[in-house]
Amino acid sequence: MIPFHRKRLGLLGFILFSCLTNFGQERQSYEGPMQVGPYLGKAQYQYIISAQDTLFDGAFQVQRSSLEALLEKEDASFLFKGSFDKGAPTGSWGFQFGEFQTDSRSEVIDYEYRVLISGIQEEGTGTLTDGRPDGPWTYTVNQIKDSKIQNTLFASALTFATGIPQQNFRIENQEATLVGRFLRNGLAHDEWTSYTINALEDVESWFFEEGVLRRMVVVKDGKSQEVEVFTTASDEQKVIPLSNGYLEVVRTTLRANGTSMALQTGIPDLLAENESYYRKMDTVLLQLGPSNLRPNFMVKVPYFPMDTAQLAQVKTISADFLAAKAIGSALLKNSHLNIVKRSDNEALYNYNAVALIDERFLKPLEKFVSYAEQDILQYVDRSKFIETLWPNGKPSPELQIVADSSGTTRTFALADFKADDFEANDLTSIGRLSAYARRGLEQIKETLSDQLTNEERQQQLNGLEEDLIALNESLVRQIDSALTTLPKDYKVPIQEIKRLADASLSQYATMKNADEKLSYGTSLKTCLEQLTQLTQTLIALPQQKEEIEVLYQDSIWNPFMATVMDEEVKRRITAAYFNVLVPYFLSQVKTELTCDTVERLNNQIIHTNQRMLILREEDTRKLERKLRREKDAGAILELLHRQTTVKEK
């Protein structure tokens, strides 16, 4: 009955039972917390117990609003109010959804504190009969500013007769207004027109004949364009709801007709927006009882029925496609394969074959399968639809695959597939295509499995390789962005870092022995991490130099100018740093960089920068005297270091 609510009602039932207030058909009230779908609020409702079921009966209300949340940041409020008749939503109903902020200004009016709010308020109201809309229904979305309606973002007005839309309707948002009408049975009829708000001349009209969309007329910038949609009168026809699936059918029909005009956004957008608001209300109502709070616009489409054999074919196609897609995606994303293909032409050939099958088979099939899932394959002319999926012609069963970096191609083919297997635009040929994709990819997976799985440590390697690729990518990204901002003399050293990373990865890829590979890969991971650190150190170096330059300045009052001036102090130390050490670091990175030296180089720079900060405060007269004639970077580094050890003693 109300399954999601069973727990709470169970508890409630227990309480009621123990209170001996269970009086059968007599209406009772509940007041307390309640969860409706994602909405948790305070409920007040009446109910009856009938055949040990709790049925809503009478007034119902659940709501939430929090002043605390509003004042803190913002509040999402809601109010669902209506009534039930023995469990069925019946009578006048209202749904409110609000998202509000406040600037916390308050005023006191008639002994009430009022806080002005701004935000969005959605409200849908109308009458329900047994969960179905009956009579006029409106849904409006208002933008609220300081507790006043500032803008109406969306409004729709529909009329229903026990769930079936009737007469005229009107849907508008900020861009366009759509008006149209229905027959008594809910079928779209006559002209549906959408006017653009900002350009009144622009009009989009759909012409229905008892639910069949015959033609569309679009007037834009004074130019009128007309296209036919479902023209053939002899087609078998079927009534379906005006849903996204229907719009997809219209789209495909337009394409299959060879029309250049794409489906405009005006009418479909308005319809979809309206649909989404009704779905929002329906979702709430479905939690409480039987509900069909939908627009239920009905249309008629040509019907191309499928027999049992065809339905089975479609099922096989979907299954083949899903299996093929899973293998294809896994292989394309396989990090080991991505590395191996750098050095191994056989792997490259297989990888490219997967990529080609993905591109030429799976991508078009994906759309076919999505139609099958939406259950709209029988509403489109399938042969025309299939033709549109391969605008450049279907692939041949003999695929030409690029097999090495110079562009040489090799042929990929499967036994039992003939050249004309894919020719026809029917389900059989699509079935062959999907079978080809599945078997082709399975075969490639089999071929690659030696390379991909025959080592026990494959899993380990995979994780490692993913790390390696991620590390390398982030390193390259940092270097590329730094190259645009760093001074000229940093560019060669920093590119050297990139080159080393790339060369090491290539070497890793060429390794065959899994043991060697694992140990080399592990050390390469450390190396890439250290290279990243070194890159960051180098990127930070220009600014650190500036900081050191500022640090080694004293403010001096010049009596002749009566002005305070900056004086460089400890010039021998700063000169050694700027003129000898920094260029030395850069040239070391340029010439000495290997995975073995990278950590030492990085630490050297970091430690030297730290020493420079410390030396500013220390008595360095001795050091400065020694630096006087020293031009050798190694000796200077040693002198800076010695100053520490002396101090430490």
Partner 1 sequence: MRHTTSIFIWLMAFLWISCGGAYGQEEDKEVLPLLSKYKDPSTKVWFNTYGNIRIGKRFFWDAQTHFRFQETEDTPFIGQVAQIYNRHAIGYIYSKKTNFSLGGVVRINFNTDEDSVDRNVVPEWRIWHQYQFAMPLYTAMIYHRIRIEHRWTQGFAENSEYIFRNRWRYMFRAKIPLNDHKLRPKTLYVSPEAELIMQSGKAVVASPMEDLRLTTTLGYIATPRLTFAAGLMYSQGQDLSNGGIYKQGWTMRFHMYFSPDFRRVKNKLPEIHLTD
Q: Give the interface segment with partner 1, choosing from 220-228, 251-259, 282-290, 565-573 (CB under 8 A).
A: 565-573
Nearest distance, CB of residue 563 and partner 1, angstroms: 5
Nearest distance, CB of residue 574 and partner 1, angstroms: 14
d(CA 58, CA 56): 7
Q: Is 72 in the site for partner 1 (CB under 8 A)?
A: no
Contact 427, 317 (CB under 8 A): yes
- What the block records as the tokens of 449 is 């499995």
Query: Which DSSP category does 3 fall into?
Result: G
Q: Which of 236, 561, 629, 645 is close enough to bind partner 1 by CB under 8 A?
A: 561
In the bound state with partner 1, the residue whose beta carbon lies nearer, of 20 and 561, is 561
Q: Is 565 in the site for partner 1 (CB under 8 A)?
A: yes
Nearest distance, CB of residue 618 and partner 1, angstroms: 11
Q: Is 113 in the site for partner 1 (CB under 8 A)?
A: no
In the bound state with partner 1, the residue whose beta carbon lies nearer, of 261 and 556, is 556
Contact 13, 54 (CB under 8 A): yes
Q: Is 109 in the site for partner 1 (CB under 8 A)?
A: no
In the bound state with partner 1, the residue whose beta carbon lies nearer, of 480 and 567, is 567
Q: Is 564 in the site for partner 1 (CB under 8 A)?
A: yes
State the DSSP string of 584-621. Answer: HHHHHHHHH--TTTHHHHHHHHHHHHHHHHHHTTS--H
Q: Is 407 in the site for partner 1 (CB under 8 A)?
A: no
Q: Is 554 in the site for partner 1 (CB under 8 A)?
A: yes
Q: Is 150 in the site for partner 1 (CB under 8 A)?
A: no
d(CA 292, CA 130): 9
Query: Which DSSP category does 99 fall into?
Result: E
- What the block records as the tokens of 316 is 């096989």
Nearest distance, CB of residue 628 and partner 1, angstroms: 18
Nearest to residue 453, comparing CAs of 357, 340, 352?
Answer: 340
Nearest distance, CB of residue 567 and partner 1, angstroms: 4
Amino acid at 26: E
- What the block records as the tokens of 4 is 């999601």
Nearest distance, CB of residue 151 and partner 1, angstroms: 52
The CA–CA distances, whole Å, from 90 to 15, 374, 491 equal 28, 32, 75
Nearest distance, CB of residue 621 and partner 1, angstroms: 10
Q: Which of 51, 555, 628, 629 is close enough to bind partner 1 by CB under 8 A?
A: 555
Q: Compute and round to an integer the Cα radius of gyration of the chain.
A: 37
What is the pairing mode between strands 39-50 and 28-36?
antiparallel
- What the block records as the tokens of 601 is 């180089």
Q: Is 261 in the site for partner 1 (CB under 8 A)?
A: no
Q: Is 646 in the site for partner 1 (CB under 8 A)?
A: no
Quick note: the x/- pattern for partner 1 over 415-454, rule CB under 8 A, is ----------------------------------------
Amino acid at 266: G
State the DSSP string of 477-517. Answer: HHHHHHHHHS-GGGHHHHHHHHHHHHHHHHHHHH---HHHH
Nearest distance, CB of residue 619 and partner 1, angstroms: 8
Q: Is 550 in the site for partner 1 (CB under 8 A)?
A: no
Q: Which of 474, 506, 558, 594 is close enough to bind partner 1 by CB under 8 A?
A: 558
Q: Which of 224, 260, 450, 560 is close enough to bind partner 1 by CB under 8 A?
A: 560
Place of tokens 């990819």: 441
Q: Which of 566, 592, 596, 632 is close enough to bind partner 1 by CB under 8 A?
A: 566
Q: Give the interface segment with partner 1, choosing from 373-381, 391-399, 494-502, 550-558 (CB under 8 A).
A: 550-558
Q: Which of 234, 450, 456, 557 is close enough to bind partner 1 by CB under 8 A?
A: 557
What count of other Cβ atoms lies within 10 Å of the Cβ of residue 515?
10
- What the block records as the tokens of 323 is 């299996």
Nearest distance, CB of residue 543 and partner 1, angstroms: 23
Nearest distance, CB of residue 335 and partner 1, angstroms: 57
Q: Which of 31, 373, 375, 567 is close enough to bind partner 1 by CB under 8 A?
A: 567
CA diameter of the chain:
106
Task: Kindly determine how many residues on this chain lie close enough to bind partner 1 according to the rule CB under 8 A.
Answer: 14
Burial 568-598 (b: 16+ CB within 10 A, else e): eebeebbebbeebbbebbbebbbeebebeeb
Nearest distance, CB of residue 573 and partner 1, angstroms: 15
Which positions lie near partner 1, rule CB under 8 A? 554-567
